[in-house]
Chain A
Amino acid sequence: MANGTIAANLKTFYEEGTTKSNKGIWSWLLSTDHKRIGLMYLGAIAIFFSVAAILGVLMRLELIAPGETIMEAQTYNSIFTLHGVIMIFLFIIPGLPAVFGNFFLPLQIGAMDVAFPRLNLLSFWIYIVGAILVLVSLILPGGPIDTGWTFYIPYSVRSGTNISLAIFAAFVLGFSSILTGLNFVTTIHRMRAPGMGWFKMPLFVWATYATAWIQIIATPVIGITILLVILERMFGVGIFDPALGGDPILFQHLFWIYSHPAVYIMILPAMGVVSEIIPTFARRTIFGYRAIAMSSLAIAFVGYLVWAHHMFTSGMSDTARIIFSLLTFIVALPSGVKVFNWVATMYKGSIDPKPPFLWVMSFIVLFSIGGLTGLVLGALATDIHLHDTYFVVAHFHYVMFGGTGTIFFAALYYWFPKMFGRMYNIKVANWGVGLFFVAFNLLYFPKFIMGYLGMPRRYYDYLQEFSSWHLISTVGSWVMLIALILVIGNIVYSIFKGEKCSSNPWGGVTLEWHTQSPPPLLNFQEIPTVKHEPYDFSQLEEMKNES
């Protein structure tokens, strides 16, 4: 793709920072370097993910048998709410864009940094302030919130727990998201290396671009909605609360106008990562480059028009239900375009099944199950039966955890050598993926069956007939815990003790593989000039001469 970009011995970004001192905690906390900010996000997000995962395991433990086992009902309500709030607002929405978007977007387009490095640092700190507010809401008198992560009216107006503070935290976190989106859109428009036209951008950049637009346009809606709920709680304004003449369904509309596009904030960057990993390990250019790039934009656009499929049983008008059901089916098309193009890319490729590729394979299986069961829920008649059952829980865990979560690990395992200049233990990594896949299905597939049989979601107790499925699912949660310890432990160990590796261990050809590992402060010795298509593997020979 580019010539003369490898620098033999430039100082890495770990050795040279943007602050006066290159070492110590402040050189990280005040750094405007996109790579350091990305790593700080990674650290914070890893902590929140671990906490929320442990809450999930505790929930499963409570559900191992009918009746009370390890906690009271009110504690259970708070724990499932926190599991959702932390996973969604602190892990999966910022996850891929904030960590890998920050670190790799400038590298992939051949830029020295994002367009607004200080704004980037500000979004990180806004994120941290939001997270702290969530934590404070847990310990203040009143107790942790118990509404579920959707904060539905009228309960969220009437519950005595610390709702106002917790949702204000979500409001603050929204600003972090908007600023990151703004930064990325500007970066992609203004900072591409010479020769990198729109259709020479790597597909992760396309996906991040589409995501950034959703972050900018959709997030303000949740911001306003949250402020209205706080007003309602404090002054009893009567916008949503039916007792005061408000309309509770209006809240659901406003909430999902943001939160459904937010689903695409979560999944689109993941799809971008998949489009990076498959060509690298199939040694073959991506099939249908333009189709994949455009389908990202199509998903981002159509994603705005389907929100009310979360509300089929809310008492919405029939006309709206039919229209939203139809629109929901349309969003399956661009998603299908992607899956077929990925599979076609592998056809007759020279596949090298390294851990990142294995993560992607498990993604394709899990995401397809999640996506197809989404159609079952998008159809009006079946949704009436399955709404608010474990079927929905299984569906979104397959899409979110099996989709975005899996790809978070794929991205980590793919870009790890570039980020840290070291390699993890491949054998342990392979075992990690395998165990994760088994554990995942053990944990979540029984939920499809339970949901179909009528087990409602969010319930603290259940009938005897569901107990064996709950038991299997709980055992799955233990295996999942072991898999996660293996997967994350391998990474943490290798950051410090991993073997040093070359700058391009996988044989990737996008721009980030044209610079040293870890990259220098300004990413490249000189700004590269792009001459090749993004996934043109004929340049691998040229790249050997670069180093």
Chain B
Amino acid sequence: MDNQEHKNEHEHHITPYSTYVYVWLGLIALTSITVTIAGISLGDYTLAVALLIAAVKSYLVINIFMHIKYEELIFKVFLILSGLTLLVIFALTFFDFTYR
């Protein structure tokens, strides 16, 4: 029964326009933070902060604009797996840049 309801919700889910507008404004705000921070020297943390903001932005785009939030579990698993691969690739690359 629960499953059935979930399916119906999945098929009929309509995101209100206001949500899209809020997310869009959020993305613009985050972009301006990125630009501002680029002018401030944070030393070793510059890159980490930039990546963190980018990650939050991707999270918003993937979940809201790409509707993944309302999709089946398997798609989320695939996405998380791809994301983790990317993360591992980042980490390994930094073994070079950090210790060079």
A-side residues, CB < 8 A to B, are 189, 216-217, 249, 253, 257, 304-305, 308, 315-320, 323-324
- Minimal beta-carbon separation of B38 from chain A (angstroms): 16
Docked-complex contact B89 and A319, CB < 8 angstroms: no
> Which residue of A has the minimal Cβ distance to B74?
A189
Whether B85 sits at the interface, judged by CB under 8 Å, is yes
Cβ-neighbour of A253 out of B82, B96, B99 (below 8 A): B96
Known A-B contacts A305-B88, A316-B100; A323 and B82 likewise in contact (beta carbons under 8 Å):
no
State in angstroms the CA–CA spacing of A267 and B35 once bound together: 44
Docked-complex contact A323 and B95, CB < 8 angstroms: yes
State in angstroms the CA–CA spacing of A270 and B96 once bound together: 33
State in angstroms the CA–CA spacing of A319 and B93 once bound together: 11
- Minimal beta-carbon separation of A101 from chain B (angstroms): 20
State in angstroms the CA–CA spacing of A217 and B98 once bound together: 25
Give the chain B neighbours of A320 by CB distance below 8 A: 92, 95-96, 99
Known A-B contacts A305-B92, A323-B92; A317 and B99 likewise in contact (beta carbons under 8 Å):
yes
Known: A316-B100, A319-B95, A320-B99. 13 other contacts (CB 8 A): A249-B96, A253-B93, A253-B96, A257-B89, A304-B89, A305-B88, A317-B95, A317-B96, A317-B98, A319-B96, A319-B98, A319-B99, A320-B96
> Considering the complex of A and B, which 6 residue pairs feature the smallest CB-CB distances, nearest first?
A317-B99, A320-B96, A319-B99, A317-B100, A320-B95, A316-B96
Docked-complex contact A304 and B85, CB < 8 angstroms: yes
State in angstroms the CA–CA spacing of A13 and B93 once bound together: 49
- Minimal beta-carbon separation of A198 from chain B (angstroms): 13
State in angstroms the CA–CA spacing of A319 and B96 once bound together: 7
Docked-complex contact A304 and B88, CB < 8 angstroms: yes
- Minimal beta-carbon separation of A223 from chain B (angstroms): 14
State in angstroms the CA–CA spacing of A128 and B100 once bound together: 42
Give the chain B neighbours of A308 by CB distance below 8 A: 92, 96
- Minimal beta-carbon separation of A90 from chain B (angstroms): 26
Give the chain A neighbours of B97 by CB distance below 8 A: 317
- Minimal beta-carbon separation of B26 from chain A (angstroms): 25
State in angstroms the CA–CA spacing of A308 and B89 once bound together: 11
Chain B interface residue count, CB cutoff 8 Å, equals 13
Give the chain A neighbours of B93 by CB distance below 8 A: 253, 257
- Minimal beta-carbon separation of A299 from chain B (angstroms): 14
- Residues of chain B in range 72-99 having any CB-CB distance to chain A below 8 Å: 74, 82, 85, 88-89, 92-93, 95-99
- Minimal beta-carbon separation of B94 from chain A (angstroms): 9
- Minimal beta-carbon separation of A189 from chain B (angstroms): 8
- Minimal beta-carbon separation of B61 from chain A (angstroms): 16
- Minimal beta-carbon separation of A301 from chain B (angstroms): 8
Give the chain B neighbours of A253 by CB distance below 8 A: 93, 96
Give the chain B neighbours of A216 by CB distance below 8 A: 82
State in angstroms the CA–CA spacing of A305 and B93 once bound together: 10
28 contacts between A and B (CB under 8 A): A189-B74, A216-B82, A217-B82, A217-B85, A249-B96, A253-B93, A253-B96, A257-B89, A257-B93, A304-B85, A304-B88, A305-B88, A308-B92, A315-B100, A316-B96, A316-B100, A317-B95, A317-B96, A317-B98, A318-B99, A319-B95, A319-B96, A319-B98, A319-B99, A320-B95, A320-B96, A323-B92, A324-B92
Give the chain A neighbours of B88 by CB distance below 8 A: 304-305
- Minimal beta-carbon separation of B58 from chain A (angstroms): 14
- Minimal beta-carbon separation of B12 from chain A (angstroms): 23
Give the chain A neighbours of B96 by CB distance below 8 A: 249, 253, 308, 316-317, 319-320
- Minimal beta-carbon separation of B85 from chain A (angstroms): 6
State in angstroms the CA–CA spacing of A452 and B82 once bound together: 40
Give the chain A neighbours of B99 by CB distance below 8 A: 317-320
Give the chain B neighbours of A323 by CB distance below 8 A: 92, 95
- Minimal beta-carbon separation of B97 from chain A (angstroms): 8
> Which residue of B has the minimal Cβ distance to A257?
B89
Give the chain B neighbours of A319 by CB distance below 8 A: 95-96, 98-99
> Which residue of A has the minimal Cβ distance to B95?
A320
State in angstroms the CA–CA spacing of A316 and B95 once bound together: 9
> Which residue of B has the minimal Cβ distance to A185?
B78
> Which residue of A has the minimal Cβ distance to B82?
A217
Give the chain B neighbours of A317 by CB distance below 8 A: 95-100
Give the chain A neighbours of B74 by CB distance below 8 A: 189
Give the chain B neighbours of A257 by CB distance below 8 A: 89, 93
Give the chain A neighbours of B89 by CB distance below 8 A: 257, 304
State in angstroms the CA–CA spacing of A257 and B93 once bound together: 9
Give the chain B neighbours of A189 by CB distance below 8 A: 74
- Minimal beta-carbon separation of A263 from chain B (angstroms): 16
State in angstroms the CA–CA spacing of A305 and B74 once bound together: 24
> Which residue of B has the minimal Cβ distance to A253?
B93
State in angstroms the CA–CA spacing of A217 and B79 once bound together: 10
- Minimal beta-carbon separation of B25 from chain A (angstroms): 28
- Minimal beta-carbon separation of B27 from chain A (angstroms): 20
Give the chain B neighbours of A305 by CB distance below 8 A: 88, 92
Interface centre among A217, A253, A316, A320 (most CB of B within 10 A): A320
> Which residue of A has the minimal Cβ distance to B97?
A317
B26-46 interface code vs A (CB 8 A; 1 in, 0 out): 000000000000000000000
State in angstroms the CA–CA spacing of A326 and B43 once bound together: 31
Give the chain B neighbours of A318 by CB distance below 8 A: 99
State in angstroms the CA–CA spacing of A316 and B74 once bound together: 38
State in angstroms the CA–CA spacing of A188 and B89 once bound together: 27
Give the chain A neighbours of B95 by CB distance below 8 A: 317, 319-320, 323
- Minimal beta-carbon separation of B83 from chain A (angstroms): 10
Give the chain B neighbours of A324 by CB distance below 8 A: 92
Give the chain B neighbours of A304 by CB distance below 8 A: 85, 88-89
Interface centre among B82, B88, B89, B98 (most CB of A within 10 A): B89
State in angstroms the CA–CA spacing of A315 and B96 once bound together: 9
State in angstroms the CA–CA spacing of A257 and B90 once bound together: 10
